[in-house]
Chain A
Amino acid sequence: MKDDVTREERVDALGGMGCKRKRVEDARFTQGKGNYVDDIKLDGMMFADFVRSPYAHARIKSINIDAAMALDGVAAVLTAEDLKPLNLTWMPTLAGDKQMVLADGKVLFQGQEVAFVVAKDRYIAADAVELVEVEYEELPVITDPFEALKSDVVLREDTVDENGTAVDGAHGPRGHHNHIFKWEMGDEPATNEVMDDAEVVAEETMYYHRTHPCPLETCGSVASMDKVNGKLTLWGTFQAPHVVRTVASLLSGIEEHNIRVVSPDIGGGFGNKVGVYPGYVCSIVASIVTGKPVKWVEDRMENLMSTAFARDYWMKGKISATKDGKITGLHCHVTADHGAFDACADPSKFPAGFMNICTGSYDIPVAYLGVDGVYTNKAPGGVSYRCSFRVTEAVYFIERMIEVLAIELNMDPAELRMKNFIKKEQFPYQAALGWEYDSGDYHTAWEKALKAVDYEGLRAEQAQRVEDFKAGKTRKLMGVGLTFFTEIVGAGPVKNCDILGMGMFDSCEIRIHPTGSAIARLGTISQGQGHATTFAQILATEIGLPADSITIEEGDTDTAPYGLGTYGSRSTPVAGAATALAGRKIRAKAQMIAAYLLEVHDDDVEFDVDRFVVKGAPEKFKTMKEIAYAAYNQAIPGVEPGLEAVSYYDPPNMTYPFGAYVCVMDIDVDTGVTDIRRFYALDDCGTRINPMIIDGQIHGGLTEALAVALGQEIAYDSLGNVKTGTLMDFFLPTAWEVPNYETDFTVTPSPHHPIGAKGVGESPHVGGVPCFSNAVNDAFKAFGLRHTHMPHDHWRIWKTANDLGLHG
């Protein structure tokens, strides 16, 4: 390195943390050279397709596969009977329940997997599906969780004893045969006492409707059983490939070292690809049965009908305060519709995820949360759709309750928030429902946001609009949606977070090559977040080699260290920490090598950007590139050759990103059409690794939030038929329906994270949904509206306006 290079230039040359590094992934994606699961093609590969139930609840009287088997090119048709000898008719879910792999005597939701057809190509498979004859006897259908808890109909006969009494579930006693669990946090008697004595109490019930993550790529897998070597390779859309390997081993009995699981490029996940689905299991079985590789890829209707819904929470809230707006207590009860099997993808000890973050960003002294999980004839799932576990529900709940309380108090909702924020000096803050918030500066963020949008000006404009509306001068109302959210991400500490018993640590392994470039492998898997770009930036800063010289690899269980995967914004908080710490191990060894080369004591050299320098003599240095070479080409007394490190990181706590959002919306009262005039998003995700990628995550998360708030739902009719099975009816916005967003930030690093980063991918969704919804509710506030349920599509907004008498 030449002497005339400044320190600043050396920093820039690394492309490390904080810079807007362009993504290394983009070269292949922009040229159509991504490698997604459906791009995998193996010699002799077969294609599989499911026979699915048209009914939501029915007894299976018979299955006749003869005609299908007779079709030229069909290799196998698997039914539950075929899975019984393998003990695979049912499989464990991540939530401590079990789920049918193929319908065992009955079906419990429309679209449930009944038989698995394996054929030479996908056309023959599709034809054969039509030829499988299944005789059903329809049973009463329950799609409403409240009805389920009253009904005599037993949905899950496997969960009752011979007397029809519900046996205990994974989370304790069940009160009814269609009840799954009761989960309670906080102090209910103390909360009730506060409510009874409160000066003001606001109550509201809100339904957070069922929706679906719907990544553009559906779920799929390719299983290839190599019977000669006894090795199974499984490629698939897995957000947690290592866990899939462990589960596959436990289910199949194949030793874990003989299973290789690979997540290739993933076309978006958003929680859809965390769970283990019947298709994955069946593709493995089919490969074992046929001796050929077997590909299964679901189509969009199958995706929406069967794999991984999100939300479906009925939330009943009570919030108490003093007359001047100091919140004194919060009570929340949730009736959670989990569908036919409890397949929620939550850490095992948290049957309702982190719903107990529902005290939000506020200093609430006492609170209670109770959640009742319920079986219905709907698809299983309950995944975290672009959020940490049930955090979107929690934030929606508290941010709506704050608005309702503001109405009750006749107080400005921005002021009410300001009055109740946890103060900067209270961090680390112990919340009433158990969490310890790591860091925050809510007041600063809120003031910055309100100033940026000229909040007072907006309220004045809105008041004028209401006047004009009342005077008949306009038919458009204006809503100002506010949200201040606190996320809880980075699951999580092994002491309380595990999935199927596997602690939720994550990992990074680094090898520095002799010429000063490197490869790092992680236990996570990118689905668009740009890990190959950002993790290299963390390492560049930590080890002083250019990000462009560092390859990041994830997703192959044969090569990557064990990790729990990517979801719940955990990659940066957990694997990012592992990466930094592994980098520091490299640096520690490099320090010894540098000291040896510079002929000084280890303590007499210090790290400086891309080199170790002799303290007090910066002209004496060894660059990391030189050190890397030395690690391989000379004998250094007391130091092993090579330069490698591995770190498994068990986070001491979650991280708590937060943000302040404001949405300005115009609503056509006559058509129910909404127009987002402005959306301001301030995010604080702690240390910012790549501002370009952060902005991209925020744009995307807000757009998914817009979709959920304004129309995206999985709806059923009373017979349990899915009414929203294609993208005609399931709302994914196009460029035409989406506004431009303004992004902003503050930086409050996490005190316990090695680089202070908190995670950001899910914040915009978590904060966005209540912000859009609050804007709609706010628009009608002047006319007496307290709360209206999402999704705020045209007809529901029309109904709100109509119920308020705004159509004359």
Chain B
Amino acid sequence: MADKMHIKMTVNGEEQEFLAEPRELLIHTLRERLDITGPHIGCETTHCGACTVTIDGKSVKSCTMFVAQANGADVTTIEGIGDPDNLHVLQNAFKEHHGLQCGFCTPGMITRATKLLEENPNPTEEEVRFGMAGNICRCTGYQNIVKSILAAASEMNAAKEAAE
């Protein structure tokens, strides 16, 4: 076993400090060390995206990052995207348009979608499908996920226009 490292990172706005083996995968750090169990483990080979989090502004599959690499990083998970009193538009849209079934892919899916809409606030259906292609869902066939994201985009754009 290698020596433990002193790790500091910000997760959902909170400073975290702990000792960990460098090989610890970030997904395990989040789920087992910090009890942030929204991101899930699906495939472990970067194909499914269930473990997707946002790290320093990038969508990242946290099963393929060592905690050592994330030392000093700013991490946002589904838990940091909205809270029960203040849900993100996407969280509501997924419910409204039946964008989920078993719910296992949903945290990664929504986390990725927040970033997608940040980069492309007005995507076409094709752009949504391409931009979400790193997240696998086994239940929905994606049709309602795409619908949810497009609806969220419209709603966010409308809110932005109203604010201007």
A36 contacts B104, CB within 8 Å? yes
Q: How far is the CB of A98 from chain B (nearest CB, A)?
A: 31
A702 and B141 contacting across the interface, CB-CB below 8 Å? yes
Contact for A735 among B44, B87, B95, B128, CB less than 8 A: B128
Contact with B42, one of A22, A31, A216, A734 (Cβ below 8 angstroms): A216
B78-119: which residues lie under 8 A (CB-CB) from chain A?
78-79, 82-84, 87, 91-92, 94-96, 98, 100-107, 110
Q: In the complex, are the beta carbons of B143 and A727 less than 8 A apart?
A: no
Q: Is B70 an interface residue (CB 8 A)?
A: no
Say whether B104 contacts A31, CB under 8 Å.
Answer: no
Q: Smallest CB-CB separation from A214: which chain B residue? A: B138
Residues of A within 8 A of B (CB-CB), count:
61
Contact with A along B25-62 (1 / 0, CB 8 A): 00010011001111111111101101000000000000
The smallest beta-carbon distance between B6 and chain A, in angstroms, is 18
Contact between A268 and B133, CB atoms less than 8 A apart: no
Residue of B nearest to A34 (CB): B103
Query: B21 and A123: CB pair below 8 A?
Result: yes
In the complex where A123-B21, A300-B45, A735-B132 touch, is A215 in contact with B91 (Cβ < 8 A)? no
A216 touches B45 (CB 8 A): no
**Cα distance A121–B1 in the bound complex, in angstroms:** 13
Query: In the complex, what distance in Å separates the CA atom of A297 from the CA atom of B129?
Result: 31
B50 partner residues in chain A, CB cutoff 8 A: 216
Q: Is the CB of B43 within 8 A of A738?
A: no
Known contacts A32-B37, A300-B44, A699-B144, A216 near B91 by CB under 8 Å: no
With contact pairs A39-B37, A528-B139, A735-B142 given, residues A26 and B100 touching in the complex (Cβ less than 8 Å): yes
Cα distance, A34 to B78, chains bound together (Å): 12
Which of A300, A529, A732 contacts B101, CB < 8 Å? A529
Bound Cα distance from A132 to B17, whole angstroms:
35
Q: For the complex, what is the distance from the CA of A122 to the CA of B32, rounded to whole Å?
A: 10
Instruction: Kindly report which residue of chain B lies nearest to residue A725, judged by CB atoms.
Output: B45
A23 within 8 A of B: yes
Q: What per-residue 1/0 map shows which CB atoms of A433-474 lie under 8 Å from chain B?
A: 000000000000000000000000000000000000000000
Instruction: State the Cβ distance, A434 to closest chain B Cβ, in Å.
Output: 33
B143 touches A268 (CB 8 A): no
**Complex CA distance for A530 and B140, rounded to whole angstroms:** 12
Complex contacts, A121 vs chain B, CB 8 Å: 32
| A732-B138, A735-B133, A741-B141 given; A30·B43 CB < 8 A | no
B133 touches A216 (CB 8 A): no
One of A299, A696, A727 near B144 (C-beta < 8 A): A696
Known: A216-B42, A267-B103, A700-B140. A735 touches B31 (CB 8 A): no
With A33-B38, A268-B102, A528-B101: A216-B44 Cβ-Cβ less than 8 Å: no
Evaluate contact between B143 and A699: CB separation under 8 angstroms: yes
Residue of A72, A268, A727 near B45 (CB, 8 A) is: A727
Interface residues of B in 111-152 (CB under 8 A from A): 128-130, 132-146
> Which residues of the partner chain A approach B107 to less than 8 Å between Cβ atoms?
29-30, 32
- B21 to chain A: which residues have CB within 8 Å? 123
Given A38-B31, A728-B45, A732-B136; A217-B102 close (CB under 8 Å)? yes
Q: Which residues of B contact A267 (CB under 8 A)?
A: 40, 102-104
The answer, among B32, B130, B138, for a CB contact under 8 Å with A216, is B138
Partner of A704, one of B31, B32, B77, B138: B138
CA distance A740 to B150 in the complex (A): 14
Chain B residues positioned under 8 Å from A699 (CB to CB):
140-144
A110 interfacial by beta-carbon distance below 8 Å: no
- Cross-chain contact B95 with A32 (CB below 8 angstroms): no
Asked whether, in the complex, the Cβ of B45 is within 8 Å of the Cβ of A36, the reply is: no
Query: What is the CA–CA distance of A214 and B139 in the complex, to the nearest angstrom?
Result: 11
Partner of B40, one of A22, A217, A530, A692: A217
Question: Hey, which chain A residues are within 8 Å of B84, CB to CB?
Answer: 27, 31
Known contacts A31-B82, A738-B142; A25/B136 CB under 8 A: no
B152 to chain A, nearest CB (A): 11
CB proximity of A514 to chain B, nearest CB, Å: 28
Known: A41-B32, A700-B141, A726-B45. A268 touches B94 (CB 8 A): no
- C-alpha gap A734/B87 in the complex (Å): 26
The closest CB in chain B to the CB of A213 belongs to: B138
Does B74 sit at the interface, judged by CB under 8 A? no
The CA-CA distance from A738 to B28 in the complex, in Å, is: 31
Against B, the Cβ 8 Å flags (1 = close, 0 = not) of A673-716 are 00000000000000000001101111111111000000000000
| Complex alpha-carbon distance, A726 and B105, angstroms | 17
Inter-chain contact B138/A32, CB cutoff 8 Å: no
User: With A123-B24, A727-B45 given, is the CB distance from A528 to B38 under 8 Å?
Assistant: no
**Complex alpha-carbon distance, A282 and B45, angstroms:** 26
A267 to B104, CA, bound (A): 5
B136–A734 CB distance below 8 A: yes
- With most chain B CB atoms within 10 A of its CB, the pick from A270, A299, A527, A736 is A736
Q: Is the CB of B110 within 8 A of A30?
A: yes
Residues B45 and A693 in contact, CB atoms below 8 Å apart: no
- Which residues on B sit within 8 Å (CB–CB) of A696? 98, 101, 139-140, 144
Q: Which of A25, A122, A695, A741 contacts B28 (CB 8 A)?
A: A122
Contact with B along A51-83 (1 / 0, CB 8 A): 000000000000000000000100000000000
Question: Measured between alpha carbons, how far is A381 from B9 in the docked complex, in Å?
Answer: 44
A534 to chain B, nearest CB (A): 12
Q: Which residue of B lies closest to A705 (CB)?
A: B141
Docked CA distance A788–B77 (Å)? 46
Q: What residues of A have a CB within 8 angstroms of the CB of B37 in the complex?
A: 32, 36, 38-39
The listed residue (B94, B136, B137, B146) touching A30 by CB distance below 8 A is B94
- B48–A32 touching, CB < 8 Å: no
Give the residues in chain B near A31, CB-CB below 8 Å: 38, 78-79, 82-84, 87, 91
Complex Cα–Cα for A732 and B50 (A): 13
Q: Which residues of A contact B140 (CB under 8 A)?
A: 696, 699-700, 703
A390-431 with Cβ < 8 A to chain B = none
Instruction: Supply 18 further A-B pairs (C-beta < 8 A) apart from A693-B98, A703-B140.
Output: A29-B100, A31-B84, A34-B103, A38-B40, A122-B28, A217-B104, A266-B102, A267-B104, A699-B141, A699-B144, A703-B142, A727-B45, A727-B47, A734-B136, A735-B132, A735-B142, A735-B146, A740-B143
> Hey, which bits of chain B sit against chain A, CB under 8 A?
1, 21, 23-24, 28, 31-32, 35-45, 47-48, 50, 77-79, 82-84, 87, 91-92, 94-96, 98, 100-107, 110, 128-130, 132-146
Q: What are 16 A-B interface contacts by the 8 Å CB criterion? A: A26-B94, A28-B103, A31-B79, A34-B104, A38-B40, A72-B1, A121-B32, A267-B103, A300-B44, A527-B102, A696-B139, A699-B142, A700-B101, A734-B133, A735-B135, A738-B143
Considering the complex of A and B, which 4 residue pairs feature the smallest CB-CB distances, nearest first? A32-B38, A29-B103, A528-B102, A267-B104
